[in-house]
Every structure is written in C-alpha cells, then in structure tokens.
Amino acid sequence: MPNEESSTRDTRRTPRARRDIRERMSRAVLADWHTLDDQDIAIFSIRNPDGSSFPEFEVGQYTQLAFWDQSTSDPRPRQLSIASSPLDLSHLEFYVILVRDSLDDGSNTPGIFTGTLWKHKPGDEILYLPRPAGRFTLSRTDQPEVVCIATGTGLAPFVSMARAAWHRYKETGTIHRRLTIVHGVSYANQLGYRNELETMAADPDFGLSYIPTVSRPDRDASYTELVSRGRANDLVRLYFGEEMSGRVEPQFAGALLGDLQNRLTPESAAVYLCGNPDMIADAKPILAANGYETEGRESQVITEDYW
Ligand SMILES: Cc1cc2nc3c(=O)[nH]c(=O)nc-3n(C[C@H](O)[C@H](O)[C@H](O)COP(=O)(O)OP(=O)(O)OC[C@H]3O[C@@H](n4cnc5c(N)ncnc54)[C@H](O)[C@@H]3O)c2cc1C
C-alpha cells in the first residue's frame, strides 16, 4: 500500500520543459545600423536573408526580436515598435535605446536584449516573430487630428505613422488626418528622426506639426531655441494650465503652442501616448479632466507603455 506522500507524488504531473520561443522565430539579418550622437540610442533595420518581404503590419504595431546569444537567464524576445512604413516591407526599422540598469555601487548593467544587440554588427543573424501585433494603431480612431506624444524611443510608432502618411501624400496629394508629434528627450542630441520630421513639417500642405522638447536645456550644449523646454508631460500640463511636475519650466518654442491650440480639442483629436509609463500616467488624468474620453471602447486617448 503506498503511503499518502508517495501517492500524492504519483499523481503529480511532471512539468513539461517549456519550449524556447526562439525556435518558432524567423531568421533575419541586421542590416543598417547607426547610433545618434548619443551612442546609447540606435536606429537599425533588419532584412530577410533571401530578400523576401516581411509580413504586412499596421502603423503603430510592434514585432518581437531576440538573439541566440542573449543571456540564458532570459531568452525571451523583446517587443519593439516598428518605425518603418508598412508601404515598404523590404525591411523593418527600429529605434532603440541601450537600457542600463543602475547598480547599488554606482555602476550599471546593460539590458539583456539591448546589451546583446549593441555587441552585434551588420550582417549578423537576428530572430523576429513574423506576427506583428499590438492595438496602438490608427484604426482606433476616426478623429481628424492625431496628437502623438512620445518620450525617447516611444517615437518609433509615430515615425511609422508619419512615413506612411507622407508617402501617401507624395503619391496622391491628399492627407487623411493631421499629425502632431511631441517628442520629449533629455538632450537635443537624442532627438532621433529630427531632420526627417522637420522636412515633413516644413511642407504646410502636409500639416504635420513637430514639437521636439528637452527636459535638461540648461545642461545641453546642443540645445537651441527651436526646441521646446520641459518634459513632454509638462508641455501637456502647460497647455491645460496645470502646474509643472519636472524641474524645468515648460515652454513651447516659436508658434508651436498656437499650432496645438488649433488641433488639441476633445471634439477633433485623438491623443496617442507612447514610451515612459510615468509620462503616460501623468498625462492621462489631465486629458480626462479636460474632456477627453480615456477609458473603454470610445476612448480617444490611446496608450503604449514600454515597461
Ligand atoms: C509594445 C512595446 C513596444 C516597445 N517598443 C520599443 C521600441 O521601439 N524601442 C525601445 O527602445 N524599446 C521598446 N520597448 C521596450 C523593449 O521591449 C525592452 O523592454 C527594452 O528594449 C529593454 O530590453 P532589455 O532586455 O535590454 O532590458 P531588460 O534586461 O529586460 O530590462 C528591462 C528594464 O529596462 C527598462 N526599460 C525598458 N525599455 C526602456 C526604454 N525604452 N527606455 C528606458 N528604460 C527602459 C525598464 O526599467 C525595464 O524594467 C517596447 C516595449 C513594449 C511593451
């Protein structure tokens, strides 16, 4: 007769070894790679080894990337928003920051995926999940104004939106809706895609308003008055007459506040927030208090937290 302990052991199912998700991923190669002036921020693209196209995706979606030599302590792929346009599926482009986790002794350790990425070079193999995903898409709204607010690499999905709209505008001369892009970083040399977005913004018929802003202008040799001051969420606070939360008094550069006043109203705008969860958590209740539907199916405030 088995005792109680052994009978319990007999009926317990042996856990199946979890399959490594990387076995289900497709192989691509790292193609273009460049860092900004700030070497911890990179723009890179991947291509299929046989030159074939990537699966279709909607602007605002992400895919997942991994490496075989990523730490075995956490081999999971990481989600990265696609910055390239879905109208060109020959490659996928990404905008990424090398994450550094601070340690108690003042040193830091690189993030598992991004630390590995920074060790690779063009031509190396990278894995991707061939099922773009995510609901941070423009199909969530019918509003004619889309106000996009990003911190850091949270700009990526908005670059994809702007590129697709720009392509269509150049082909047909029409725009479906107007984009406003607020991009918050610490220093002006971290403003990835600045030239490209300024070129689009310089065409008045395209209607893109680009509002770069830096949160440390007084310690920033690359800062000029063409750039707004303060954190992205503090520009939102300033716009709605709320007190600032950061250390730098927010201020819109040039005529950009006037631009926003024409665009950011609950009747006409959907607001997309992407990147640092603190920025999103700060901006969302302010929008709610100012007449924006922020919850449920009718929500016109659409968010993507990066962590
Ligand atoms: C839907 C979605 C889309 C994303 N798209 C992008 C993107 O386009 N570009 C991008 O750089 N990241 C993006 N991320 C974050 C990305 O998935 C990884 O978390 C990031 O690359 C760090 O991975 P890691 O393995 O190097 O860090 P880990 O070793 O996993 O450490 C994770 C920690 O890093 C911090 N962290 C994560 N992302 C950032 C960040 N962007 N800035 C500062 N700190 C961060 C957080 O504290 C997090 O807890 C996205 C996340 C989600 C959920």
How many domains does the structure of the chain reveal? 2
- pLDDT (tens digit, 9 = 90+) per residue, 243-287? 999 999 999 999 999 989 999 999 999 999 999 999 999 999 999
In a domain, 113, yes or no: yes
Which pLDDT score, from 0 to 100, does residue 1 have? 43
Ligand 1 within 6 A of 78 CB?
Answer: yes
Q: Are residues 218 and 173 in the same domain?
A: yes
Residue 124 lies in domain: 21-128
Ligand 1 within 6 A of 113 CB?
Answer: yes
Cα(40) to ligand 1 centroid in Å equals 13
In a domain, 12, yes or no: no
State residue 301 phi and psi, 5-degree precision: -120, 115
Cα(275) to ligand 1 centroid in Å equals 9
In a domain, 188, yes or no: yes
Quote the tokens at residue 78: 């990481």
From the CA atom positions of the chain, what is the Rg in Å? 22
Domain CATH code at residue 218: 3.40.50.80
Distance CA 230, CA 297 (A): 32
Q: Are residues 101 and 50 in the same domain?
A: yes
Q: Are residues 77 and 170 in the same domain?
A: no
Q: Are residues 160 and 296 in the same domain?
A: yes
Q: Are residues 110 and 217 in the same domain?
A: no
Of 108, 128, 148, which residue constitutes the final position of a domain? 128
Of 76, 107, 128, which residue constitutes the final position of a domain? 128
- pLDDT (tens digit, 9 = 90+) per residue, 42-94? 999 999 999 999 999 999 999 999 999 999 889 999 999 999 999 999 999 99
* pTM for this prediction: 0.94
How do the residues of the chain divide into helix, strand and coil, expressed in percent and rounded to 5?
30, 25, 45
